[in-house]
Structure 1
Amino acid sequence: MQDGICVSSHIRLAIAPGVPSRQLSALLALQREEEPEVAITLSEVSNDALMLGLREGRYDAGLAFSDAANASLHSQPLWREEMAIATPLRHPLLEKAALSLNDVADYPVFRWRTEICPLLEQQIACLPEKPCDIQYVTSFELMAMWVVAGYGIGITAQSRLASARAWDICMRPFADAPFEIITHLLRLNEEPTLACERFAHRALRVAKAETD
């Protein structure tokens, strides 16, 4: 399948930290299967660098937890992941099957800053009794290290905790309304190349398969 113009045979894709690797792998595999002649260049960049690179034309598309904060960018929600609470073994909170934000507020909480969940941030800030002691870390591995060592609890995507059971981390869901992190496909708010448009449709197919 050819677009007839050279620029369309190459997609420059920027990936922000934390984008789920399982869904991304499925998307890239589908792209390679259906359109192997289109080259994909991956760049791992910060969220801010991704937004700037899209606006300056250095990337054709990006995947990030943030939606478009600029009118020049178009944002398409893709896959969603629920957040959960991580505790060490034999933690007092494990007596409950699900935990509320008020339960969490009694302990230091480690967060990976890249996992953006506006609803969670808003409700943590509005806790009536006492504020949460939030400590931000630069990776999931650092969050897990502090939790396993007993310095507090963590809040992160359920899928990450499910894949980290060998770390002796326990997981509890939220009893409050579900808190989600959403991966967005970001592009310039203009007519895309045909190759980019087909890539976006494949991303939506992967997202739909997650919910079927």
Structure 2
Amino acid sequence: MRIRQLQYFLVVAEEQSFTRAAARVHIRQSPLSRAIKELEEELGVQLFERSKGRIRLTWSGEVFREDARRLLSFLNSVRVRTKAAEYGFRGHLRIALTDGLAQPRMTELLARCREEEPLTDVRVLEMTVSEMAQALKFDQIDAGFTVHTGYQTEILVKDQVWTDRLVFAVPTRHPLLTRDKLSLVEAVQHPMIICHPERCEGGYDVVLRMFRNEGLEPIVAEYVSGHELMMMFVAAGYGIGLALESQVALYCHPNVIIRPIRDEIAEAATFLVRPNRAASPELERFLLRAQKIGEKIN
């Protein structure tokens, strides 16, 4: 069994088409089909059901897909850690960043890690919340940051590290700027720019939960994947944005005015999500640093 076979298998399983999979891995369809056939013969099982040009995984294929992902993830981790060791690192952390988060406190956390623990290699990967959950399941990352209020399961736990106030971002010359604070009832009467339900799932969860707790439903003008794009649409006059206060401070725009929320609402929490098992010493120290930064700010 070769690594290339596993990689081909996962691409075919995702595309559900030998033609699309071959184009994606830049080989002809015949050698790709042959590689999958050889893999099935070696395993002694049928991985795909083929009928009238369509394919789908058999139950054996479904089981093998999870193990193949886990195996490739482990091999990739081996490569990364070995390379890091060559440069003198003694520890290794793989941290996911979701919901477009790039807060100043995240910068401070990473800077502290470099100062206090320079021999631990910290890798940061951007992904969606769903991708983070899958990556944690298959041991592709050690932990991930999100503002999503879910993802406390039997296999995953979350620790709150800090909180942030929600604020409105309003285009200049907007009628609501006559008020120094905006209520949710006032804002919901105008088109809004909010987080995309898939690409920025955590932000979407926070916003929808806040409005629905008040029995309100926003008028969505545009969905965005992050705060930078939100500020662009707000500045262009597409609608009002709702964002984390520390985040919008990174994307100041002369055509956007920030207004506090008048209502008494809970602050949005940022969580570090990790597998429900004993954490490595490096991850424990990483979590403690994050929580200390949160205590200092809050």
TM norm structure 1: 0.86
Which residue of structure 1 lines up, in the alignment, with residue 218 of structure 2? 132
Q: Specify the SS of the correspondent of 2:284.
A: helix
Determine if contact 1:110/1:152 at 8 Å carries over to the other structure.
Answer: yes
Bigger radius of gyration among the two: 2
1:145-164, aligned counterparts within 5 Å? Answer: 145-164=232-251
Q: Percent identity?
A: 28
How far residue 156 of structure 1 moved from its aligned partner, in angstroms, is 0.9
Determine if contact 2:90/2:119 at 8 Å carries over to the other structure.
Answer: no
How far residue 57 of structure 1 moved from its aligned partner, in angstroms, is 1.0
**Number of aligned residue pairs:** 205
> Cα deviation per residue 1:111-132 (whole Å; 9 max; x = unaligned)?
123253756423523666x742
Determine if contact 1:11/1:39 at 8 Å carries over to the other structure.
Answer: yes
Pick one of 167, 186, 191 that aligns with 1:103.
186
Determine if contact 1:8/1:196 at 8 Å carries over to the other structure.
Answer: no
Q: Specify the SS of the correspondent of 2:237.
A: coil
How far residue 189 of structure 1 moved from its aligned partner, in angstroms, is 0.8
Determine if contact 1:120/1:179 at 8 Å carries over to the other structure.
Answer: no
Determine if contact 2:99/2:203 at 8 Å carries over to the other structure.
Answer: no
Which residue of structure 2 lines up, in the alignment, with residue 16 of structure 1? 98
1:31-180, aligned counterparts within 5 Å? Answer: 31-67=113-149, 68-113=151-196, 114=200, 115-116=202-203, 118=205, 120-125=207-212, 131-134=217-220, 135-180=222-267
| Structure having the larger proportion of residues in helix | 2
How far residue 141 of structure 1 moved from its aligned partner, in angstroms, is 2.8
- Following the alignment from structure 1 to structure 2, what is the Cα–Cα distance between the partners of residues 205 and 151? 38
> Cα deviation per residue 1:124-163 (whole Å; 9 max; x = unaligned)?
23666x7421232223233222222222211111223333
> Cα deviation per residue 1:46-95 (whole Å; 9 max; x = unaligned)?
11111111121111111111242422111001121111111111211011
- Following the alignment from structure 1 to structure 2, what is the Cα–Cα distance between the partners of residues 11 and 126? 37
- Following the alignment from structure 1 to structure 2, what is the Cα–Cα distance between the partners of residues 141 and 184? 21
Determine if contact 1:98/1:174 at 8 Å carries over to the other structure.
Answer: yes
Match of 2:245, as an amino acid?
Answer: Q
- Aligned structure 1 segments of 4 or more residues deviating by more than 4 angstroms: 117-120
- Structure 2 unpaired stretches of 5+: 1-84
TM norm structure 2: 0.63
How far residue 165 of structure 1 moved from its aligned partner, in angstroms, is 3.2
Q: CA RMSD in A?
A: 2.3
| Structure having the larger proportion of residues in strand | 1
Which residue of structure 1 lines up, in the alignment, with residue 270 of structure 2? 183
Q: Does 172-181 or 190-199 show the bigger shift?
A: 172-181
Determine if contact 1:8/1:194 at 8 Å carries over to the other structure.
Answer: no
Q: Specify the SS of the correspondent of 1:163.
A: helix
Determine which structure has greater relative contact order: mean sequence separation of CA pairs < 8 Å that are 6+ residues apart, divided by chain length.
1
Which residue of structure 1 lines up, in the alignment, with residue 18 of structure 2? none
Determine if contact 1:117/1:180 at 8 Å carries over to the other structure.
Answer: no
Determine if contact 2:103/2:246 at 8 Å carries over to the other structure.
Answer: no
